[in-house]
Amino acid sequence: MTATDFASEAQAAPYQDAIREIFVHYTATEEGIDFSMRDVADWHKEKEWLTTGYHYLIRLDGRVEPGRPEDKQGAHVKGRNEGTLGIVYVGGLIRSGDDLIPGNTMTDRQEEALIDLLDDLQIRHPNATIKGHNDVAGTPCPGFNVTDWLDAIDEARPSQLPATSDVKRIVRVVAAIIRKGRKLFR
């Protein structure tokens, strides 16, 4: 798939405005091996299970490559592509002998980039909840529990608050704004 094909495919996708969910995915590739958004687009020709429909890809060194524009519907979660965004990090499979086992293979740079990207997206789409592909489908993708991972990085979340998903989401948006502010003044 050429860049032009990729752009025209994004053009053909339906327009979307209100984002309700942001999904985290893995590329289902062995840890430590890097791929680009272009590679993922090329794979689609050969492997139906890898789609070109992500909005962002995070490489091993933390570089974020854009895919589909945010205002175009993606193709990353069956039946839930409308009003959602898809982020994919490169990796997700750990070698164990002859087997490849799903797990969180994010490098420190990938994790930092994902947190940073999610902060940006939450500020721009404050009504969106962040989920893993495995929260809504029978897949190990992205190799870890996204809610547990988010809880672990939300140091700003007051423990006394009722842990409803709405409160969590609002607190996360505030925490994202605080983190962004800290970075600006560092």
Which residues form the interface with Zn ion (CB under 5 A)?
Answer: 25, 133, 141
In angstroms, the Cα distances linking 55 to 6, 142, 169 are: 12, 15, 21
- Quote the CA–CA distance of 31 and 95 in Å, as a whole number: 8
> Half-sphere exposure of residue 146, counting CA atoms within 13 Å on the CB side?
23
In the complex, the smallest distance separating the C-beta of residue 31 from Zn ion, rounded to whole angstroms, is 16
In the complex, the smallest distance separating the C-beta of residue 178 from Zn ion, rounded to whole angstroms, is 29
When the beta carbons of 133 and 168 are compared against Zn ion, the nearer one is 133
Phi-psi region of 122 (alpha: psi -120 to 50; beta: other; left: phi over 0): alpha
When the beta carbons of 107 and 139 are compared against Zn ion, the nearer one is 139
In the complex, the smallest distance separating the C-beta of residue 24 from Zn ion, rounded to whole angstroms, is 8
When the beta carbons of 52 and 175 are compared against Zn ion, the nearer one is 52
In the complex, the smallest distance separating the C-beta of residue 170 from Zn ion, rounded to whole angstroms, is 26
Query: To which residue do tokens 């592909």 refer?
Result: 133
In the complex, the smallest distance separating the C-beta of residue 47 from Zn ion, rounded to whole angstroms, is 13
In the complex, the smallest distance separating the C-beta of residue 61 from Zn ion, rounded to whole angstroms, is 22
- Quote the CA–CA distance of 138 and 103 in Å, as a whole number: 15
When the beta carbons of 6 and 26 are compared against Zn ion, the nearer one is 26
When the beta carbons of 59 and 133 are compared against Zn ion, the nearer one is 133
When the beta carbons of 25 and 55 are compared against Zn ion, the nearer one is 25
